[in-house]
Amino acid sequence: MPDRLDAFLSHRGFGSRSQVRELVRSGKVTVGDAICRDQARHLRGEEVRVDGVLIETGLTAATLLVHKPLGLACSHDPGEAPLLEDIIPEDYAHLPMEPAGRLDRDTSGLLIVTSSGDLIHSLTNPRRHIAKRYRIAYSGRLSAHAAERCAKGMQLEDDPKPTLPARLILETPRLDGLSTATLILHEGRYHQVRRMIAALGGEVTALHRDRIGGLDLPRDLPPGQVRELSEVEQASLFVEQGA
């Protein structure tokens, strides 16, 4: 899909869509050899200049592998700062980068952030059944048939549709009394892990995602670090893995 002129300029630091519209109307913007006053003009590789200065096209697409640290919100609302976008390098600021499914502010782990709407759709569409693996610490005691209830699909409060079958693996309680578990989901509803554990009688105290499809969060990527996803890694997102 070609970029619209207003999106192109806005993603390169020329302000909001309305500021860009004013700029374009002022006649300072040229597309190819001609002044363009239509902010909705689709670009097909022409050179764009503002006040005669060529605007670099830069990268046209990117997909990043992010180790989301605790404390960042996956939104663009400055009122919710600090934001995930604060750790995305400037080089990608002109691109419409979005996370493929959100993690809560107090969840850490593997996140794919991409300019590709198709990739986001493929990773988040429950029909694609991409597994997401969560490591959980929780307080309280889970009901005796917790794993069976997850496997069958369970009814969550305020949600008419039962969850898709999920795999819950309860771990032996640790000496310090902390209870831990692994949950593998094939969908991503709002606060889903926390709500499922609550429905089973527990309360999540820490949550970390360490795998999507067949891609593990790389051990050499510390929290807060970001790097480009390789093609091999992207393909592995769609490969099924066991627990």
User: Which residues are known catalytic residues?
Assistant: 104
Q: Closer to ligand URA by CB, 107 or 116: give it.
A: 107
Helical (H) or strand (E) element with 196: helix 192-199
- The torsion angles phi and psi of 83, rounded to 5 degrees, stand at -115, 155
Minimum distance, C-beta of residue 56 to ligand URA, in the bound complex (Å): 36
* Interface segment toward ligand URA; rule CB under 6 A; list 35-43, 59-67, 110-118, 187-195: 187-195
Residue 22 CB neighbours (<10 A)? 12
Measured distance CA(64)–CA(76) in Å, rounded? 17
Least distance to ligand URA, CB of residue 178, Å: 18
Edge-to-edge strands, sheet with 34-35: 34-35, 29-31, 48-50, 53-54
- For ligand URA, which residue of 11, 41, 194, 208 counts as binding (CB under 6 A)? 194
Cβ closer to ligand URA: 24 or 120?
120
Give 9 or 109: the residue with its C-beta nearer to ligand URA: 109
Provide, rounded to whole angstroms, the least separation between the CB of residue 40 and ligand URA: 36
Report DSSP state, residue 115: S
Binding test (CB under 6 A) with ligand URA, winner from 115, 116, 163, 192: 192
* Whole-angstrom distance, CA of residue 214 vs CA of residue 67: 16
By beta-carbon proximity to ligand URA, the closer residue of 58 and 162 is 162
Residue at token pair 């970390």? 208
For ligand URA, the binding residues in 79-108 under the rule CB under 6 A are: 103-104, 107
Going by their DSSP bridges, the two strands 53-54 and 215-216 should be labelled as unpaired
Nearer to ligand URA, 37 or 105 (CB): 105
Residue 64 neighbours by CB under 8 Å, 6+ apart: 88, 92, 97, 112, 113, 114, 226, 227, 228, 229
Interacting stretch for ligand URA, rule CB under 6 A, among 9-17, 120-128, 172-180, 191-199? 191-199
Considering only residues 62, 87, 123, 193, which one is a binding residue for ligand URA as defined by CB under 6 A? 193
Q: Between residue 198 and residue 227, which ones bind ligand URA under the rule CB under 6 A?
A: 207
Structure tokens at 128: 């694609």
Query: Measured from the CB of residue 32, what is the shortest distance to ligand URA in angstroms?
Result: 46
Cα separation, 70 vs 208, whole angstroms: 9
Q: Which residues bind ligand URA (CB under 6 A)?
A: 103-104, 107, 191-194, 207
